[in-house]
Every structure is written in structure tokens, then in C-alpha cells.
Structure 1
Amino acid sequence: MRKWLLLLATLLLIGVFYNRFTAAVDMKGSIQPENRYPTETPTPENDPPENELTIEVEADQVNKGNLLLVNEILAVPPNDAEAEAVNLYKHKELRNGFGLLDNKVRLSPDMTKKFSSMIKDAAEVGIDHFLISSGYRNDEEQKALYDQLGSDVAAFPGHSEHSLGLALDIGSTIAQMKDAPEGKWLKENSWKYGFIVRYPEDKTEVTDVMNEPWHFRYVGLPHSAVMQENHLAFEEYLEYLKERKSITAIVGKSTYVVYYFPVSSNTTLHVPTIGSYEVSGNNTDGVIVTVLKS
């Protein structure tokens, strides 16, 4: 009798351990992959790790920054570009190494300095016949150009990158840009300074804009470098970021990590990289955080 009782107790214990083991396996199998970029604000009991950036982002950040996509569908969002733009003809101190097509060209001092720094290096190799034919344009100026040139050449008012204050048309005093040494040098080197040829000849089906070898857009590093390396138009690059979620780019001695986050309301972003950073919207559905690693 005792043997039967002992056997029964043993079987019961085996059953208990089996159920516990099975439950543990089932629970383990149901665990979801960890969300690397949670958007919830951490509780005091669960502070963010020391190797993580916490960034408060408002919903309208989607429409601010250097990486805004503007085209015939996406309009230029409200911005301060006109307030920041100055008449370069009246500011001789800003005109370093380039001429102006006329006395109405406007551009922000910051963008002018970025351009001047770039062409200074070109001058060191004997390429120094640059001019700016157009910088910032407001809707009224864009409408006048649109009415004069038509939709095949000019963007509809409210849909021109020039109204962002991040684009400029660059010319040469000795030849058309497609043939000029200035155009060829910029095509090969502008990415090193954060600029891109916005409408390349072989990307017209992507941009839906004819080739404009004179139109340059500032996006900043490392974005211009990644586009150059992977032969991407701006539209393709933004989609690339959305698909990849994060990329690492090494430019010279600097290492950048770039993250895409969808944003539809005020939120807190937790970025798993430490360093100085910039946040830009894409003008559609999210923001791009660019971290220069410490």
C-alpha cells in the first residue's frame, strides 16, 4: 500500500513540474521583440539608461528642419526663412568669392556662410567664377516666376524649395553650369559641405522635375554623404530612412547615427545613442534625429 502511495505522490510531483516547465516555455515563446525606441515617458522607477538621449518633440516638428520634403504635392510649411534672409547686394561683408546675378538676391547669413566656405575650397584649385542667381523667394516672387516661365520650369507658388531658405541657384560667369568647371566641381564635391544637387539628370522620374544642374539644396551632413554614396535622390533617401529606421554613417573622423521616428502628436523620443543631435521633420509623417556620437 505504501508503495502505491509513494508511486502516486511521485507521479503528482512529476505532473506539477511538467506543467510549470510547459508554462515557462509558452511564456518565453510569447515574448515580443523589445522595442528599441519606445516613445513612452519613463517612470521614476524606470529612468532612462545613461547611454540614451531623451528628446521632447512636439507634433509640429514634423514641419520644421533641414530635411523637409517639398514638391508639387507637399507645400512649404510656415517658417521664418523670409525674416532670416538678407539682401546680399546690401551686405558686401557676406559676399566672399562669388558674384550676384542682380541686386535682389536674398539668402540667410548662415546659408551664405555655408556656401562661401564651400567655394573657398574650390578657389584653391582654381575654380572661382561662381555667382548666385537666386536664393530665398517668397510666394509672391515665386508666382511672378511661375507666371513668366510656366509649370515646366518653375514650381507652383508655395511649393518651391526656395521658400524654405535652404535652396539656391548657383551659376558660373564663364559657361552654363552643366559645362562650367564650377558646375562640375560642385557636382563632385558639394556633398562634402552638406549640399546636394537636388534634381539630378538621372533621377527625373523620382523627383518629377527636369534636370537642374544649378539648383542646390542644403540638407547637412551626414545626409548628403549617404545620398552621394548610395546614389539616392532626396525622396529616395527619406524612404530609405523610414525603411531602415536607423543608419550609421562615418564621414571623415566623425560618426553619425541617424534615426527615423513616426510622429503624429507631442511625444518623448528615447534615442539609444549619446552625442550632440539635431531634429528635423520630413514634412510628412515623422522626424529624423541625427546624432553626432560623442
Structure 2
Amino acid sequence: MKKWGFLLIILSFGLTFLYTEPFFEPKIEIHDDTENKIDRGTSENIEIEKDQIYQGNLLLVNQDHPVHQESILSDIVNLYEHQELTKGYGLMENEMYLSEEIAREFSKMILAANNEGVQNFCITSGFRGFEAQSVLYQEMGSDYALPAGYSEHNLGLALDVGSTQMKMADAPEGKWIEENAWKYGFILRYPKDKTDITGIQYEPWHIRYVGLPHSAIMQEKNFVLEEYLEYLKEKKQISANLNGESYKITYFPVSENALIEVPMNHVYEISGNNTDGVIVTVHS
């Protein structure tokens, strides 16, 4: 499977320290919410096309569920050309690609780490197109890379984070990511104690964006993405409270184009799971 250690690199880059409001330790409450449906007086039906299954932040990509062309984020940029997105960390090379939105979220997280005195971050790998993934697979082999279309790096949602000082497994940067990434919508995708589920050995450098409140729920329940999506399918609907903000999360199976019910008076997001349905997250 895909795994290689990071080369230790020494990068010279200026860390920009900006004031950020303190991030209070998230408090999460989760409840089964099967009977608590949307009020039909304040809801509407919208059509979900089957392609929506393959779009969003909660897509499951592994050896059984490949990346579809429509899964690739459309806002991929070269971070080297966008210095406003790279405050507080370095880049391993001058062609490093990632979703612009995910890069902004990552930068917020790294600036928070910088403010806590953890400062030696760099991105060692970001988005890779199918062709680049195929070349990597041919060069590295199946022990160190995944075939084109079967890597989260083909989405634009995942990145590898290194330390300029030492291996991430031993570095303060690695420990900070493992303990804090979930507070900012990121997850450590391949933790040490879940290799039997993910099929991938421990990768302290590989993080993936799923967004809040999903990362907080996964942290609370010690879920990897495979477990979380199965949990949502089983429960059908849950509610969560995160630092006073309320969320309702509902799984809808989708086999063909379908109508689903959404609120008219609340913000909501829809993400496919890349397998058989969509997940609606309502924020109220």
C-alpha cells in the first residue's frame, strides 16, 4: 500500500503570525434523531441527481471505491503562486496543488498551531491528477503508492504534512496535528489503531478535510471515515451540538435521481458518500 517516509528537508520561509481568536476546546453532544424529522411547513423537496453521490467533502475513497471525474474539486490551484494561502508553513516544491478552499482552512489551522509555538510545518504532497498518480505508482510500486483513481490525493481534499525538523511520527508538528486537526475540520485519515479498517498503514502525515461537525463527531466516537459513513447509514439521522451550534445530519440512499427534503430556513450542505447516497448537514 501507499506509504513512504518523508525526507527531512530544511526550508527557509518566513512565518507570519496573525492574531486569531482563541479556539475553545470543542464540546460535542451527539444524539440519535430518527424520529425528529424536518417540519414540513418549513421544508421543500429538491432533486438529487445520481452524480451527487460522487461530489462533496465526505467521499469515501479506498481500494473499493475509486475517485470519479466529477469528484475532483474544481478550485485546484498551485499554492506556490498563492502566497496568501501559505502563511505559517512551507512547500516542499514549487508545484504543489490543492483546493483553494481547503488550503484556506489548512492555513487557519496552521496559524493556530504557530500561535501555540508549533511552527515547522511544510506540505510535502497535495493534489495529484490521475496521470501524476499513475506515474508515481509506476515509480514507487504498490508498497508505496496507490493506483490512479484510488488515492485521496486525486480529490483535492487531502494533503501530506511534514516537519522541517524530523519525521512526523516523532515531531511536535505530528503530535499537534493528531491532537488538534479535528477542531478545524480535518482528520488523520490513517491512524495507527485502524489499519485493519482503512487497509493503509499508519500515516501521521496524511490528513483529509471533512469539515465540522463531522470531524468532531469522528473524534468523539473514535471513527475513521469508513466507520463514520456506516454509522450514518445505520442511524439514518443524528443531531449534534458543537459549542452551542446545532446540526442535524441525515443520510439519504440514492439509486437514481431522487427528491429529498431540506429546510427552507436553515443553511445546509449536501455531500455524497461515493458509494450509495448523500448526507445532508443542516446548521441551525
Give the TM-score band, short-chain normalised: 0.7 to 0.9
| More relative contact order, 1 or 2 (CA 8 Å, 6+ apart) | 2
- In the alignment, does 2:239 pair up with 1:248? yes
What does the per-residue CA deviation read over 1:200-228, in whole Å, with 9 as the maximum and x for residues that have no partner?
11000000011111000000111100100
- Aligned-partner Cα distance in 1 for 2:273–2:119: 34
Look up the equivalent residue of 2:283 and give its one-letter code.
L
Asked if residue 95 in structure 1 is aligned to residue 102 in structure 2, the reply is no
Matched to 2:54, the amino acid is N
Gaps of 5+ in 1: 1-33, 39-47
**What does residue 146 of structure 1 align with?**
137
Q: Give yes or no for the alignment of 1:173 onto 2:188.
A: no
2:12 aligned residue: none
Answer yes or no: is the 8 Å Cα contact 1:81–1:136 preserved in 2.
no
Mapped to 2, the partners of 1:121 and 1:241 lie a distance apart of 31
For residues 94-113 of structure 1, the aligned pairs below 5 Å read 94-113=85-104
Structure 2 Cα separation of the partners of residues 93 and 271 of structure 1: 36
Please give the secondary structure, in 2, of the residue aligned with 1:50: helix
Give distance in 2, aligned partners of 1:36 and 1:225: 22
Aligned length: 251
Q: Decide which structure has greater helix share.
A: 1
Matched residue, 1:133: 124
Shifted more, 208-217 versus 81-90: the winner is 81-90
Counterpart pick for 1:162 among 135, 153, 173: 153
In structure 2, distance between residues paired with 1:37 and 1:251: 20
Gaps of 5+ in 2: 1-33
Given that residues 55 and 71 in structure 2 are in contact (C-alpha distance below 8 angstroms), is that contact kept between their aligned partners in structure 1?
A: no
1:156 counterpart letter in structure 2: P
Do 2:54 and 2:71's aligned partners in 1 also have CA atoms closer than 8 Å? no
Tell me by how many angstroms 1:148 deviates.
2.0
> Is structure 2 residue 225 aligned with structure 1 residue 234?
yes
The answer for the alignment partner of 2:31 in structure 1 is none
What RMSD, in angstroms, separates the aligned Cα atoms of the two structures? 2.0
From 169, 185, 207, give the equivalent of 2:198. 207
8 Å CA contact 1:260, 1:287 repeated in 2: yes
| Cα offset, 1:268, TM superposition | 1.3
User: Which structure's CA Rg is the greater one?
Assistant: 1
Rate the CA distance shift 1:117–1:124 in 2: closer, same or farther, 3 A: same
The 3-state SS of whatever aligns with 2:40 is coil
Supply the distance in 1 between the matched residues of 2:233 and 2:253 (Cα, whole angstroms).
9
Match among 108, 113, 118 for residue 117 of structure 1 = 108
TM-score, normalised to structure 1, is 0.81
- For residues 192 and 35 of structure 1, do their structure 2 counterparts lie closer, same or farther at Cα, with a shift above 3 Å needed? closer
- Judge conservation of contact 1:65–1:280 (CA < 8 Å) in 2: yes
Deviation at 1:153, TM superposition (A): 2.0
In 1, the alpha carbon distance for the partners of 2:84 and 2:212 equals: 26
Contact 1:37 1:269 in 2 (8 A): no
Where do 4+ consecutive residues of structure 1 move more than 6 Å?
Answer: 34-38
TM-score, normalization by structure 2: 0.83
